[in-house]
Amino acid sequence: MKAAFHAAFQKGARQVVLHGTDIPGLTPEHLETAFSALRRSDLVLGPSTDGGYWLMGLRKPADLFDGMEWGSSSVFDQTLAAARAQGISVQVLSPLTDMDTAEALRQHMPEWAVPKPYVSVIIPTLNEERKVGEAIRRATSPDAEIIVVDGGSEDRTVDRAEQAGAKVLKGPRGRAKQQNRGAEAARAGVLLFLHADTILPQDYVAQMFETMMDRRVVLGAFCFKTDLHTPLMRAVELLTNLRARYLKLPYGDQALFIRRAHFQALGGFPDLAIGEDLFFVRLALKSGLLGIAPAPAITSGRRWETAGPLRTTLVNQLMLAGFALRISPESLAGLYHRAAKKKRRV
């Protein structure tokens, strides 16, 4: 404080006011009062309720800092006595409370006692007992809440999710409905939609934060990767990442994330039979940019393993072509599910 006053007066300031940054009751009117008081007095002090002061103002240099018992409850009284001993005129403002401890903060702002998470991870599930536990464990973070919205599983999905520490909600069946239900219950300012068979990178919260630092980015996604390690799958991953980056079409298994306010403004995911993620991506990107986090979210390769990478990729491309030709999602869903049944017989 001594150095700050000295530097300000050296630069030609006629009135200098310093105040604390931990004063929740501080208003512009308090500062106006302090500067007004300096027209009549050499020193203005704003006493804090713990015995210190929340503001000091001077209109000329003064030696009021040496020999003080800083941190004690007598700092204000000592400063006032030192000023009077030097013949410095003083005006005292109304007392305010500063937040020196966590307990003081909790008393003044009890809502901070339970801080909000940065991200709400929302996982729609239906008969995912084999995968959901690991997805939750890898997503667990001090900065995240995990919300599982189950669409009526007939296996132990709900038990596994609760054992892994997630908050479990029951919702109507349908990925769009379930994800929207999870978003309604979310507390965080950023929403991440995670498939139950997808594993997030270890530092996913930090990567999301860095991606969303650019305010032009309205939607984020991670790079795409599967747990299959074959040359053909590496090619599929490369093409998928190129499509996401240059055509701005990430899929839902890349763990889409978005600010909650923007999600609400868009009305959530459209309730479609299939392709709700692609329709949502296109809608979201009408108002901003897509951000791709550098690390991959690793999704299960079970669909590709069952049918083979070429067949699965062909079906996915047929779905994209169908959307581009404005074929109804209901018709495409029927085609997709018929193809899936054929896959299981292969």
Give the model confidence (pLDDT) of 204-238 as tens digits.
Answer: 999 999 999 999 999 999 999 999 999 988 988 99
pLDDT in the model for residue 303: 76
Residue where one domain finishes, among candidates 104, 134, 155: 104
Decide: 176 and 276 in contact? Cβ < 8 Å. Answer: yes
User: Is 211 found in the same domain as 135?
Assistant: yes
User: Is 262 found in the same domain as 196?
Assistant: yes
Mean pLDDT of 44-72: 92
Q: What is the pLDDT of residues 41-57, one digit of tens each?
A: 999 999 998 899 999 99
For residue 311, being part of any structural domain is answered with: no
Decide: 127 and 153 in contact? Cβ < 8 Å. Answer: yes
Mean pLDDT of 180-206: 97
Residue where one domain finishes, among candidates 104, 136, 163: 104
User: Is 82 found in the same domain as 127?
Assistant: no
For residue 317, being part of any structural domain is answered with: no
Mean pLDDT (the chain, rounded): 89
For residue 110, being part of any structural domain is answered with: no
Picking from 277, 288, 276, the residue whose alpha carbon sits closest to that of residue 254 is 277
Q: Given pLDDT bands bounded at 50, 70 and 90, which one contains residue 159?
A: very high
CATH number of the domain enclosing 136: 3.90.550.10
Quote the distance between the C-alpha of residue 167 and its chain's center: 18
Q: Which of 109-113, 163-167, 170-174, 197-201 has the lowest mean pLDDT?
A: 109-113
CB atoms within 10 A of CB 8: 17
User: Is 154 found in the same domain as 218?
Assistant: yes
Mean pLDDT of 338-346: 48
User: Is 287 found in the same domain as 138?
Assistant: yes
Q: What is the pLDDT of residues 282-338, one digit of tens each?
A: 999 999 999 999 999 999 988 777 766 666 666 666 666 666 667 666 665 665 655
Of residues 15 and 304, more confidence is placed in: 15
User: Is 92 found in the same domain as 144?
Assistant: no
Mean pLDDT of 148-177: 95
For residue 331, being part of any structural domain is answered with: no
| Host domain of residue 222 | 119-300
pLDDT of 269 higher than 50: yes
CA distances from 119 to 103, 145, 160, 205, 261 (A): 26, 7, 22, 8, 13
User: Is 221 found in the same domain as 283?
Assistant: yes
Q: Given pLDDT bands bounded at 50, 70 and 90, which one contains residue 343?
A: very low
CB atoms within 10 A of CB 46: 28
Helices H, strands E: what count in the chain? Answer: 14, 12
pLDDT in the model for residue 344: 45
For residue 322, being part of any structural domain is answered with: no
Helix (H) or strand (E) run with residue 184 in it: helix 175-185
User: Is 178 found in the same domain as 150?
Assistant: yes
pLDDT in the model for residue 346: 36
Mean pLDDT of 159-182: 95
298 is written with which tokens?
A: 């690793």
Mean pLDDT of 253-277: 92
- d(CA 241, CA 276) in angstroms, rounded, equals 19
pLDDT in the model for residue 310: 67
pLDDT in the model for residue 335: 57
Please report, rounded to a whole number, the percentage of residues in the chain having pLDDT higher than 70: 85
For residue 19, being part of any structural domain is answered with: yes
pLDDT in the model for residue 171: 84
Q: Given pLDDT bands bounded at 50, 70 and 90, which one contains residue 99?
A: confident
Mean pLDDT of 108-129: 85
User: Is 88 found in the same domain as 125?
Assistant: no
Decide: 182 and 159 in contact? Cβ < 8 Å. Answer: no
For residue 338, being part of any structural domain is answered with: no
Q: What is the pLDDT of residues 17-43, one digit of tens each?
A: 999 888 888 999 999 999 999 999 999
pLDDT in the model for residue 82: 94
Decide: 15 and 44 in contact? Cβ < 8 Å. Answer: no
pLDDT in the model for residue 311: 66
User: Is 262 found in the same domain as 176?
Assistant: yes
User: Is 174 found in the same domain as 98?
Assistant: no
114 is written with which tokens?
A: 């339970």
For residue 240, being part of any structural domain is answered with: yes
Domains held by the chain: number: 2
User: Is 199 found in the same domain as 75?
Assistant: no
